[in-house]
Structure 1
Amino acid sequence: MKDFFAGFGFVLEGLRLIRRPVLRRFVLVPLAIDLLVFGGLLGVAWHFFAQLMDRLMGQLPDWLHWLQYVLWPLFAVSAGLVIFYTFTITANLIAAPFNGLLAEAVEKHLTGQPPPQASWGRILRELGPALFAEVKKILYYLLRALPLALLFVVPGINLGAPALWTLFNGWMLSLEYLDYPMANHHLLFPEPNRRLKNRRLLGIGFGLGCLLLTLVPLLNFVAMPASVAGATALWVRRLRPAAAPPA
Protein backbone atom coordinates (compact mmCIF):
# COMPACT_ATOMS: atom_id res chain seq x y z
CA MET A 1 0.00 0.00 0.00
CA LYS A 2 3.02 2.29 0.32
CA ASP A 3 3.17 2.66 -3.47
CA PHE A 4 -0.57 3.43 -3.59
CA PHE A 5 -0.28 6.39 -1.22
CA ALA A 6 2.93 7.50 -2.92
CA GLY A 7 1.06 7.60 -6.24
CA PHE A 8 -1.76 9.61 -4.67
CA GLY A 9 0.84 11.98 -3.23
CA PHE A 10 2.09 12.86 -6.70
CA VAL A 11 -1.34 14.31 -7.50
CA LEU A 12 -1.02 16.62 -4.50
CA GLU A 13 2.47 17.53 -5.68
CA GLY A 14 1.00 18.35 -9.07
CA LEU A 15 -1.40 20.80 -7.41
CA ARG A 16 1.54 22.46 -5.66
CA LEU A 17 3.64 22.58 -8.81
CA ILE A 18 1.09 24.41 -10.98
CA ARG A 19 1.05 27.22 -8.42
CA ARG A 20 4.71 28.01 -9.16
CA PRO A 21 5.01 31.27 -11.14
CA VAL A 22 7.15 29.65 -13.84
CA LEU A 23 4.44 27.02 -14.49
CA ARG A 24 1.31 29.01 -13.76
CA ARG A 25 0.94 30.36 -17.29
CA PHE A 26 0.40 26.84 -18.65
CA VAL A 27 -2.71 26.68 -16.44
CA LEU A 28 -3.96 30.26 -16.72
CA VAL A 29 -3.70 30.62 -20.51
CA PRO A 30 -6.00 27.69 -21.45
CA LEU A 31 -8.30 28.56 -18.53
CA ALA A 32 -8.55 32.16 -19.76
CA ILE A 33 -9.31 30.94 -23.29
CA ASP A 34 -12.05 28.70 -21.90
CA LEU A 35 -13.55 31.56 -19.89
CA LEU A 36 -13.55 33.80 -22.97
CA VAL A 37 -15.23 31.09 -25.05
CA PHE A 38 -17.92 30.43 -22.43
CA GLY A 39 -18.35 34.15 -21.71
CA GLY A 40 -18.88 34.86 -25.40
CA LEU A 41 -21.35 31.99 -25.83
CA LEU A 42 -23.24 33.04 -22.70
CA GLY A 43 -23.40 36.64 -23.94
CA VAL A 44 -24.79 35.54 -27.30
CA ALA A 45 -27.33 33.24 -25.61
CA TRP A 46 -28.38 36.05 -23.25
CA HIS A 47 -28.84 38.45 -26.20
CA PHE A 48 -31.03 36.07 -28.20
CA PHE A 49 -33.05 35.04 -25.15
CA ALA A 50 -33.70 38.72 -24.34
CA GLN A 51 -34.94 39.27 -27.89
CA LEU A 52 -37.14 36.19 -27.64
CA MET A 53 -38.58 37.43 -24.34
CA ASP A 54 -39.32 40.86 -25.83
CA ARG A 55 -41.24 39.30 -28.72
CA LEU A 56 -43.05 36.91 -26.41
CA MET A 57 -44.08 39.64 -23.96
CA GLY A 58 -45.25 41.78 -26.88
CA GLN A 59 -47.64 39.03 -27.97
CA LEU A 60 -49.00 38.20 -24.51
CA PRO A 61 -51.69 40.13 -22.67
CA ASP A 62 -50.53 42.32 -19.78
CA TRP A 63 -51.85 39.96 -17.15
CA LEU A 64 -49.40 37.25 -18.34
CA HIS A 65 -46.28 39.45 -18.19
CA TRP A 66 -45.48 37.94 -14.81
CA LEU A 67 -44.16 34.92 -16.75
CA GLN A 68 -40.93 36.81 -17.45
CA TYR A 69 -40.10 36.54 -13.73
CA VAL A 70 -40.29 32.75 -14.10
CA LEU A 71 -38.61 32.38 -17.49
CA TRP A 72 -35.54 34.51 -16.71
CA PRO A 73 -34.56 32.51 -13.59
CA LEU A 74 -35.26 29.31 -15.54
CA PHE A 75 -32.87 30.48 -18.26
CA ALA A 76 -30.22 31.39 -15.66
CA VAL A 77 -30.47 27.98 -13.97
CA SER A 78 -30.35 26.15 -17.32
CA ALA A 79 -27.31 28.14 -18.43
CA GLY A 80 -25.61 27.43 -15.10
CA LEU A 81 -26.20 23.68 -15.45
CA VAL A 82 -24.86 23.65 -19.01
CA ILE A 83 -21.72 25.51 -17.90
CA PHE A 84 -21.22 23.24 -14.88
CA TYR A 85 -21.43 20.02 -16.90
CA THR A 86 -19.50 21.15 -19.99
CA PHE A 87 -16.88 23.56 -18.65
CA THR A 88 -14.45 20.86 -17.52
CA ILE A 89 -14.79 18.91 -20.77
CA THR A 90 -14.18 22.01 -22.86
CA ALA A 91 -11.34 23.13 -20.60
CA ASN A 92 -9.64 19.76 -21.05
CA LEU A 93 -9.95 19.96 -24.84
CA ILE A 94 -8.51 23.48 -24.91
CA ALA A 95 -5.72 22.59 -22.46
CA ALA A 96 -4.68 19.41 -24.30
CA PRO A 97 -2.22 21.16 -26.71
CA PHE A 98 -0.51 22.76 -23.69
CA ASN A 99 0.07 19.48 -21.83
CA GLY A 100 3.28 18.50 -23.59
CA LEU A 101 4.68 21.99 -22.97
CA LEU A 102 3.60 21.83 -19.33
CA ALA A 103 5.27 18.43 -18.86
CA GLU A 104 8.45 19.82 -20.43
CA ALA A 105 8.40 22.90 -18.16
CA VAL A 106 7.77 20.80 -15.03
CA GLU A 107 10.64 18.45 -15.86
CA LYS A 108 12.96 21.40 -16.40
CA HIS A 109 11.80 22.90 -13.08
CA LEU A 110 12.43 19.63 -11.21
CA THR A 111 15.71 18.59 -12.81
CA GLY A 112 17.19 21.78 -14.21
CA GLN A 113 17.28 20.15 -17.65
CA PRO A 114 14.50 20.06 -20.27
CA PRO A 115 13.73 16.88 -22.23
CA PRO A 116 15.71 16.41 -25.46
CA GLN A 117 14.48 18.62 -28.29
CA ALA A 118 13.36 16.87 -31.46
CA SER A 119 14.06 18.14 -34.96
CA TRP A 120 11.24 18.51 -37.48
CA GLY A 121 12.67 15.55 -39.35
CA ARG A 122 12.43 13.36 -36.26
CA ILE A 123 8.91 14.63 -35.51
CA LEU A 124 7.78 13.67 -39.01
CA ARG A 125 9.47 10.26 -38.74
CA GLU A 126 7.74 9.60 -35.43
CA LEU A 127 4.30 10.74 -36.57
CA GLY A 128 3.36 7.27 -37.83
CA PRO A 129 4.56 5.44 -34.69
CA ALA A 130 2.79 8.03 -32.52
CA LEU A 131 -0.53 7.46 -34.30
CA PHE A 132 -0.01 3.69 -34.07
CA ALA A 133 0.68 4.06 -30.33
CA GLU A 134 -2.64 5.88 -29.91
CA VAL A 135 -4.44 3.07 -31.73
CA LYS A 136 -2.75 0.53 -29.43
CA LYS A 137 -3.83 2.56 -26.40
CA ILE A 138 -7.46 2.59 -27.59
CA LEU A 139 -7.38 -1.17 -28.22
CA TYR A 140 -5.77 -1.74 -24.81
CA TYR A 141 -8.66 0.18 -23.23
CA LEU A 142 -11.45 -1.49 -25.20
CA LEU A 143 -10.14 -5.04 -24.68
CA ARG A 144 -10.40 -4.49 -20.93
CA ALA A 145 -13.30 -2.06 -20.65
CA LEU A 146 -15.78 -4.20 -22.59
CA PRO A 147 -15.40 -7.34 -20.40
CA LEU A 148 -15.53 -5.15 -17.29
CA ALA A 149 -18.72 -3.51 -18.55
CA LEU A 150 -20.31 -6.96 -18.93
CA LEU A 151 -19.76 -7.59 -15.21
CA PHE A 152 -22.45 -4.99 -14.47
CA VAL A 153 -25.13 -7.37 -15.81
CA VAL A 154 -23.86 -10.55 -14.10
CA PRO A 155 -25.90 -11.20 -10.92
CA GLY A 156 -23.78 -11.27 -7.79
CA ILE A 157 -20.60 -10.15 -9.52
CA ASN A 158 -22.25 -6.85 -10.49
CA LEU A 159 -22.02 -5.77 -6.83
CA GLY A 160 -18.26 -5.45 -7.17
CA ALA A 161 -18.31 -4.13 -10.74
CA PRO A 162 -18.34 -0.40 -9.81
CA ALA A 163 -15.21 -0.81 -7.67
CA LEU A 164 -13.39 -2.72 -10.44
CA TRP A 165 -14.48 -0.12 -13.00
CA THR A 166 -13.18 2.71 -10.81
CA LEU A 167 -9.82 0.97 -10.30
CA PHE A 168 -9.50 0.31 -14.02
CA ASN A 169 -10.24 3.92 -14.93
CA GLY A 170 -7.72 5.06 -12.34
CA TRP A 171 -5.13 2.81 -13.99
CA MET A 172 -5.98 4.19 -17.45
CA LEU A 173 -5.69 7.78 -16.21
CA SER A 174 -2.20 7.07 -14.91
CA LEU A 175 -1.17 5.71 -18.32
CA GLU A 176 -2.79 8.66 -20.08
CA TYR A 177 -1.08 11.35 -18.04
CA LEU A 178 2.30 9.60 -17.96
CA ASP A 179 2.15 9.62 -21.73
CA TYR A 180 2.90 13.38 -21.77
CA PRO A 181 6.29 13.44 -20.00
CA MET A 182 7.34 10.14 -21.55
CA ALA A 183 6.40 11.26 -25.06
CA ASN A 184 8.81 14.18 -24.59
CA HIS A 185 11.50 11.48 -24.37
CA HIS A 186 10.07 9.68 -27.44
CA LEU A 187 8.73 6.84 -25.29
CA LEU A 188 5.32 5.88 -26.65
CA PHE A 189 2.56 3.54 -25.47
CA PRO A 190 2.83 0.80 -24.21
CA GLU A 191 6.02 2.04 -22.54
CA PRO A 192 4.11 3.67 -19.60
CA ASN A 193 2.47 0.29 -19.01
CA ARG A 194 5.86 -1.46 -19.01
CA ARG A 195 7.34 1.03 -16.53
CA LEU A 196 4.43 0.48 -14.14
CA LYS A 197 4.17 -3.28 -14.69
CA ASN A 198 5.71 -4.14 -11.33
CA ARG A 199 4.36 -1.04 -9.57
CA ARG A 200 0.69 -1.13 -10.41
CA LEU A 201 -0.37 0.25 -7.02
CA LEU A 202 1.74 3.32 -7.74
CA GLY A 203 -0.14 3.88 -10.99
CA ILE A 204 -3.57 3.11 -9.53
CA GLY A 205 -2.99 5.44 -6.58
CA PHE A 206 -1.97 8.24 -8.92
CA GLY A 207 -4.86 7.61 -11.32
CA LEU A 208 -7.48 7.51 -8.56
CA GLY A 209 -6.10 10.79 -7.24
CA CYS A 210 -6.54 12.30 -10.72
CA LEU A 211 -10.08 10.92 -10.86
CA LEU A 212 -10.88 12.42 -7.46
CA LEU A 213 -9.73 15.86 -8.62
CA THR A 214 -12.29 15.82 -11.43
CA LEU A 215 -15.09 15.28 -8.89
CA VAL A 216 -14.22 18.19 -6.58
CA PRO A 217 -15.90 21.51 -7.54
CA LEU A 218 -13.41 24.25 -8.51
CA LEU A 219 -10.48 21.82 -8.31
CA ASN A 220 -11.91 20.08 -11.37
CA PHE A 221 -11.00 23.19 -13.39
CA VAL A 222 -7.29 22.49 -12.80
CA ALA A 223 -7.53 18.69 -12.67
CA MET A 224 -5.82 18.16 -16.03
CA PRO A 225 -2.78 20.46 -15.56
CA ALA A 226 -2.32 19.24 -11.97
CA SER A 227 -2.41 15.64 -13.20
CA VAL A 228 0.08 16.35 -15.99
CA ALA A 229 2.42 18.07 -13.50
CA GLY A 230 2.01 15.20 -11.02
CA ALA A 231 2.66 12.60 -13.74
CA THR A 232 5.85 14.43 -14.72
CA ALA A 233 7.02 14.41 -11.09
CA LEU A 234 6.19 10.69 -10.95
CA TRP A 235 8.22 10.11 -14.11
CA VAL A 236 11.21 12.12 -12.87
CA ARG A 237 11.36 10.61 -9.40
CA ARG A 238 10.22 7.03 -9.87
CA LEU A 239 10.20 5.88 -13.49
CA ARG A 240 13.11 7.48 -15.33
CA PRO A 241 16.09 5.27 -16.20
CA ALA A 242 18.63 5.00 -13.40
CA ALA A 243 21.23 6.51 -15.71
CA ALA A 244 19.41 9.82 -15.55
CA PRO A 245 18.80 10.46 -11.85
CA PRO A 246 16.68 13.44 -10.84
CA ALA A 247 18.37 16.47 -9.41
Structure 2
Amino acid sequence: MNSMGQPIRRGIGGFADGVKYFFQGLGWVARHPGQWVFGLIPALIALVLYVVALVLLGTYAGDLAAWATPFADDWEPALRGTVRTLLGIVVFALGLVLSVITFTAATLAIGEPFYEKLSERVEHEMGGVDKTADIPLWRSIIRSVRDSLITLAYVLMFTIPLFVLGFVPVVGQTVVPVLGAAVSGFFLSVELTALAMERRGFGRKQRFALLRADRAAALGFGVVVFLIFLIPLGAVVAMPAAVAGATILVRTRLSPTPPPRTA
Protein backbone atom coordinates (compact mmCIF):
# COMPACT_ATOMS: atom_id res chain seq x y z
CA MET A 1 0.00 0.00 0.00
CA ASN A 2 1.13 3.56 -0.67
CA SER A 3 0.52 6.59 1.55
CA MET A 4 -2.89 7.04 -0.08
CA GLY A 5 -3.98 3.52 0.92
CA GLN A 6 -3.74 2.25 -2.67
CA PRO A 7 -1.85 -0.90 -3.75
CA ILE A 8 1.55 -0.20 -5.30
CA ARG A 9 1.85 -1.66 -8.78
CA ARG A 10 5.10 -3.23 -9.96
CA GLY A 11 6.55 -4.02 -13.38
CA ILE A 12 4.98 -2.28 -16.36
CA GLY A 13 2.19 -0.86 -14.19
CA GLY A 14 4.71 0.68 -11.80
CA PHE A 15 6.71 2.08 -14.70
CA ALA A 16 3.56 3.71 -16.09
CA ASP A 17 2.86 5.16 -12.64
CA GLY A 18 6.32 6.71 -12.61
CA VAL A 19 5.67 8.36 -15.97
CA LYS A 20 2.32 9.59 -14.65
CA TYR A 21 3.97 11.37 -11.72
CA PHE A 22 6.07 13.49 -14.06
CA PHE A 23 3.00 14.59 -15.99
CA GLN A 24 1.22 15.35 -12.72
CA GLY A 25 4.16 17.59 -11.86
CA LEU A 26 3.87 19.18 -15.29
CA GLY A 27 0.19 19.81 -14.65
CA TRP A 28 1.03 21.39 -11.29
CA VAL A 29 3.47 23.92 -12.74
CA ALA A 30 1.00 24.64 -15.56
CA ARG A 31 -1.49 25.69 -12.87
CA HIS A 32 1.21 27.73 -11.11
CA PRO A 33 3.12 29.58 -13.86
CA GLY A 34 4.75 31.86 -11.29
CA GLN A 35 6.36 28.82 -9.64
CA TRP A 36 7.50 27.62 -13.06
CA VAL A 37 9.25 30.93 -13.77
CA PHE A 38 10.66 30.87 -10.23
CA GLY A 39 12.11 27.42 -10.87
CA LEU A 40 13.65 28.42 -14.21
CA ILE A 41 16.20 30.78 -12.62
CA PRO A 42 18.70 28.19 -11.28
CA ALA A 43 18.28 26.04 -14.39
CA LEU A 44 19.19 29.01 -16.60
CA ILE A 45 22.24 29.77 -14.44
CA ALA A 46 23.36 26.13 -14.71
CA LEU A 47 22.74 26.18 -18.48
CA VAL A 48 25.03 29.17 -18.98
CA LEU A 49 27.78 27.51 -16.93
CA TYR A 50 27.48 24.25 -18.87
CA VAL A 51 27.46 25.98 -22.25
CA VAL A 52 30.66 27.85 -21.34
CA ALA A 53 32.26 24.62 -20.12
CA LEU A 54 31.29 22.73 -23.29
CA VAL A 55 32.56 25.53 -25.53
CA LEU A 56 35.89 25.44 -23.71
CA LEU A 57 35.99 21.65 -23.96
CA GLY A 58 35.27 21.80 -27.70
CA THR A 59 37.95 24.47 -28.17
CA TYR A 60 40.65 22.51 -26.35
CA ALA A 61 39.58 18.92 -27.15
CA GLY A 62 42.33 18.69 -29.78
CA ASP A 63 44.95 19.88 -27.30
CA LEU A 64 43.73 17.35 -24.74
CA ALA A 65 43.95 14.61 -27.35
CA ALA A 66 47.51 15.63 -28.23
CA TRP A 67 48.47 15.74 -24.54
CA ALA A 68 47.02 12.24 -24.02
CA THR A 69 48.87 10.73 -27.01
CA PRO A 70 52.54 11.76 -26.77
CA PHE A 71 53.46 8.37 -28.22
CA ALA A 72 51.94 9.46 -31.54
CA ASP A 73 54.33 12.42 -32.02
CA ASP A 74 56.56 10.37 -34.34
CA TRP A 75 53.75 8.84 -36.38
CA GLU A 76 52.92 9.83 -39.92
CA PRO A 77 51.09 13.20 -39.89
CA ALA A 78 47.94 11.77 -41.50
CA LEU A 79 47.66 8.88 -39.03
CA ARG A 80 48.53 11.08 -36.06
CA GLY A 81 45.95 13.67 -37.07
CA THR A 82 43.24 11.04 -37.58
CA VAL A 83 43.84 9.38 -34.22
CA ARG A 84 43.89 12.67 -32.35
CA THR A 85 40.81 13.98 -34.14
CA LEU A 86 38.87 10.84 -33.26
CA LEU A 87 40.08 11.03 -29.66
CA GLY A 88 39.07 14.70 -29.50
CA ILE A 89 35.58 13.76 -30.71
CA VAL A 90 35.36 11.02 -28.07
CA VAL A 91 36.46 13.46 -25.35
CA PHE A 92 33.81 15.98 -26.38
CA ALA A 93 31.14 13.27 -26.66
CA LEU A 94 31.98 12.06 -23.17
CA GLY A 95 31.71 15.66 -21.97
CA LEU A 96 28.23 15.89 -23.48
CA VAL A 97 27.18 12.65 -21.78
CA LEU A 98 28.49 13.85 -18.43
CA SER A 99 26.76 17.21 -18.88
CA VAL A 100 23.39 15.47 -19.29
CA ILE A 101 24.06 13.27 -16.26
CA THR A 102 25.31 16.02 -13.95
CA PHE A 103 23.05 18.90 -15.04
CA THR A 104 20.28 17.97 -12.63
CA ALA A 105 22.62 17.65 -9.64
CA ALA A 106 24.29 20.97 -10.46
CA THR A 107 20.95 22.74 -10.95
CA LEU A 108 19.57 21.39 -7.69
CA ALA A 109 22.73 22.47 -5.84
CA ILE A 110 22.56 25.97 -7.34
CA GLY A 111 18.83 26.25 -6.81
CA GLU A 112 18.44 24.52 -3.44
CA PRO A 113 16.36 27.38 -1.90
CA PHE A 114 14.27 27.74 -5.09
CA TYR A 115 13.38 24.07 -5.44
CA GLU A 116 12.94 23.54 -1.71
CA LYS A 117 10.22 26.22 -1.74
CA LEU A 118 8.63 24.79 -4.87
CA SER A 119 8.59 21.29 -3.39
CA GLU A 120 7.15 22.59 -0.12
CA ARG A 121 4.40 24.37 -2.05
CA VAL A 122 3.44 21.09 -3.73
CA GLU A 123 3.41 19.33 -0.34
CA HIS A 124 1.30 22.12 1.18
CA GLU A 125 -1.37 21.81 -1.50
CA MET A 126 -1.49 18.04 -0.97
CA GLY A 127 -2.03 18.33 2.78
CA GLY A 128 1.37 19.31 4.12
CA VAL A 129 4.08 17.32 5.88
CA ASP A 130 5.96 17.96 9.09
CA LYS A 131 9.71 18.33 8.70
CA THR A 132 11.73 15.93 10.84
CA ALA A 133 14.44 18.55 11.39
CA ASP A 134 15.11 22.20 10.60
CA ILE A 135 18.52 22.06 8.90
CA PRO A 136 20.46 25.31 8.19
CA LEU A 137 20.60 26.20 4.50
CA TRP A 138 24.40 26.08 4.32
CA ARG A 139 24.48 22.60 5.82
CA SER A 140 21.73 21.44 3.49
CA ILE A 141 23.68 22.68 0.45
CA ILE A 142 26.90 21.00 1.63
CA ARG A 143 25.07 17.74 2.17
CA SER A 144 23.38 18.04 -1.21
CA VAL A 145 26.73 18.55 -2.96
CA ARG A 146 28.27 15.65 -1.04
CA ASP A 147 25.41 13.29 -1.89
CA SER A 148 25.48 14.41 -5.53
CA LEU A 149 29.20 13.62 -5.79
CA ILE A 150 28.61 10.17 -4.33
CA THR A 151 25.73 9.62 -6.74
CA LEU A 152 27.93 10.80 -9.62
CA ALA A 153 30.54 8.20 -8.67
CA TYR A 154 27.87 5.50 -8.93
CA VAL A 155 26.69 6.90 -12.26
CA LEU A 156 30.21 6.83 -13.71
CA MET A 157 30.60 3.19 -12.68
CA PHE A 158 27.83 2.40 -15.14
CA THR A 159 28.14 5.19 -17.69
CA ILE A 160 31.81 4.82 -18.66
CA PRO A 161 31.53 1.09 -19.54
CA LEU A 162 28.29 1.78 -21.43
CA PHE A 163 29.98 4.66 -23.28
CA VAL A 164 32.76 2.30 -24.40
CA LEU A 165 30.25 -0.40 -25.37
CA GLY A 166 28.47 2.21 -27.47
CA PHE A 167 31.20 1.80 -30.09
CA VAL A 168 30.49 -1.95 -30.45
CA PRO A 169 28.52 -2.60 -33.66
CA VAL A 170 24.83 -3.53 -33.21
CA VAL A 171 25.02 -3.74 -29.40
CA GLY A 172 26.10 -0.11 -29.19
CA GLN A 173 23.14 1.03 -31.26
CA THR A 174 20.46 -1.16 -29.64
CA VAL A 175 21.09 -2.48 -26.13
CA VAL A 176 23.40 0.28 -24.86
CA PRO A 177 21.00 3.24 -25.42
CA VAL A 178 18.25 1.39 -23.52
CA LEU A 179 20.54 0.52 -20.63
CA GLY A 180 21.94 4.06 -20.65
CA ALA A 181 18.46 5.58 -20.42
CA ALA A 182 17.56 3.21 -17.57
CA VAL A 183 20.72 3.99 -15.58
CA SER A 184 20.48 7.73 -16.15
CA GLY A 185 16.75 7.68 -15.39
CA PHE A 186 17.17 5.87 -12.09
CA PHE A 187 19.84 8.27 -10.87
CA LEU A 188 17.79 11.27 -12.01
CA SER A 189 15.04 9.94 -9.75
CA VAL A 190 17.58 9.69 -6.93
CA GLU A 191 18.54 13.35 -7.37
CA LEU A 192 15.07 14.76 -7.93
CA THR A 193 13.38 12.96 -5.02
CA ALA A 194 16.09 14.02 -2.55
CA LEU A 195 14.29 17.19 -1.44
CA ALA A 196 11.01 15.50 -0.55
CA MET A 197 12.75 12.51 1.02
CA GLU A 198 15.06 14.62 3.16
CA ARG A 199 12.02 16.52 4.36
CA ARG A 200 10.80 13.19 5.77
CA GLY A 201 14.14 12.44 7.38
CA PHE A 202 15.45 9.91 4.84
CA GLY A 203 19.24 9.85 4.53
CA ARG A 204 21.11 8.93 1.36
CA LYS A 205 21.24 5.19 2.03
CA GLN A 206 17.54 5.07 2.85
CA ARG A 207 16.66 7.02 -0.29
CA PHE A 208 18.58 4.56 -2.46
CA ALA A 209 16.95 1.61 -0.70
CA LEU A 210 13.43 3.00 -1.14
CA LEU A 211 13.92 3.72 -4.82
CA ARG A 212 15.46 0.29 -5.45
CA ALA A 213 12.48 -1.29 -3.69
CA ASP A 214 10.12 0.61 -6.02
CA ARG A 215 12.42 0.41 -9.02
CA ALA A 216 9.67 0.33 -11.66
CA ALA A 217 8.20 3.68 -10.60
CA ALA A 218 11.67 5.19 -10.17
CA LEU A 219 12.60 4.11 -13.69
CA GLY A 220 9.32 5.28 -15.21
CA PHE A 221 9.69 8.72 -13.70
CA GLY A 222 13.43 9.03 -14.34
CA VAL A 223 13.44 7.73 -17.90
CA VAL A 224 10.75 10.14 -19.09
CA VAL A 225 12.64 13.01 -17.43
CA PHE A 226 15.90 11.83 -19.03
CA LEU A 227 14.33 11.72 -22.51
CA ILE A 228 12.86 15.21 -22.09
CA PHE A 229 16.20 16.50 -20.82
CA LEU A 230 17.80 15.29 -24.07
CA ILE A 231 15.69 17.80 -26.01
CA PRO A 232 17.55 21.12 -26.46
CA LEU A 233 16.60 23.36 -23.50
CA GLY A 234 14.34 20.58 -22.25
CA ALA A 235 16.25 20.32 -18.96
CA VAL A 236 15.76 24.03 -18.33
CA VAL A 237 12.07 24.18 -19.20
CA ALA A 238 11.11 20.91 -17.51
CA MET A 239 13.16 21.16 -14.31
CA PRO A 240 10.37 22.77 -12.21
CA ALA A 241 7.93 20.11 -13.42
CA ALA A 242 10.46 17.38 -12.60
CA VAL A 243 10.87 18.69 -9.04
CA ALA A 244 7.10 18.93 -8.58
CA GLY A 245 6.59 15.46 -10.06
CA ALA A 246 9.29 13.97 -7.84
CA THR A 247 7.57 15.46 -4.79
CA ILE A 248 4.27 13.90 -5.85
CA LEU A 249 6.02 10.56 -6.46
CA VAL A 250 7.52 10.56 -2.97
CA ARG A 251 4.31 11.66 -1.27
CA THR A 252 2.15 9.18 -3.16
CA ARG A 253 4.39 6.10 -3.12
CA LEU A 254 6.18 6.32 0.24
CA SER A 255 5.02 5.98 3.84
CA PRO A 256 4.44 9.36 5.47
CA THR A 257 5.96 8.09 8.74
CA PRO A 258 9.46 9.57 9.04
CA PRO A 259 12.22 7.03 9.76
CA PRO A 260 15.26 7.60 11.99
CA ARG A 261 17.78 9.82 10.18
CA THR A 262 20.94 8.08 8.99
CA ALA A 263 23.90 9.23 6.85
Distance 2:39 2:230 in 1: 20
In the other structure, the counterpart of 1:213 is 228
Q: Which residue matches 1:19?
A: 30
Query: Which residue, out of 141, 147, 167, partners 1:153?
Result: 167
**Given the alignment, which residue of 151, 161, 177 partners 1:137?**
151
Distance 1:158 1:13, change over 3 A: same
Measure the CA separation in 2 of the matches of 1:126 and 1:97.
10
2:14 aligned partner: 3
Moved more, 2-11 or 103-112: 103-112
The question of whether the paired residues in 1 share the 8 Å contact of 2:132 and 2:201 is answered with: no
Match of 1:109 among 125, 138, 141: 125
1:136–1:189 Cα contact (<8 Å) kept: no
Question: Within 2, Cα distance between the matches of 1:141 and 1:113?
Answer: 31
> Offset of 1:130 from its aligned partner?
4.7
Q: What amino acid does structure 2 have at the position aligned with 1:25?
A: G
Compute the displacement of 1:229 (Å): 0.4
Match of 2:254 among 233, 239, 247: 239
Cα 1:219/1:134, change in 2 over 3 Å: closer
Percent identical across equivalent pairs? Answer: 29
Change (3 A) 1:181 1:243: closer
SS in 2 for 1:19: helix
Indicate conservation of the 8 Å contact 1:171/1:204, yes or no.
Answer: yes
Write out aligned runs for 1:75-90 (5 A).
none
Aligned equivalent of 1:50: none
Shift of 1:112: 3.0
Of 177, 194, 197 in structure 1, the residue corresponding to residue 212 of structure 2 is 197
Per the TM alignment, residue 95 of structure 1 is displaced from its structure 2 partner at its CA by: 4.9
Q: Partner amino acid for 1:26?
A: Q
Using structure 2 for the length normalisation, give the TM-score.
Answer: 0.59
In structure 2, the gaps of 5 or more residues are: 1-11, 48-102
Matched, 1:174 2:183: no
Partner SS, residue 153 of structure 1: coil
Q: 1:146 to 1:6 in 2, by over 3 A?
A: same
Q: How far has the Cα of 1:114 moved from its partner?
A: 5.0
Deviation of 1:25 (Å): 3.0
Which of these residues, 219, 222, 247, is aligned with residue 237 of structure 2?
A: 222
Task: Give the TM-score, by structure 1 length.
Answer: 0.63
Q: Name the SS of the counterpart of 2:212 in structure 1.
A: coil
1:29 aligns with 2:43: no
Distance 1:138 1:30 in 2: 23
In 2, the alpha carbon distance for the partners of 1:127 and 1:97 equals 9
Alignment correspondent of 1:99: 115
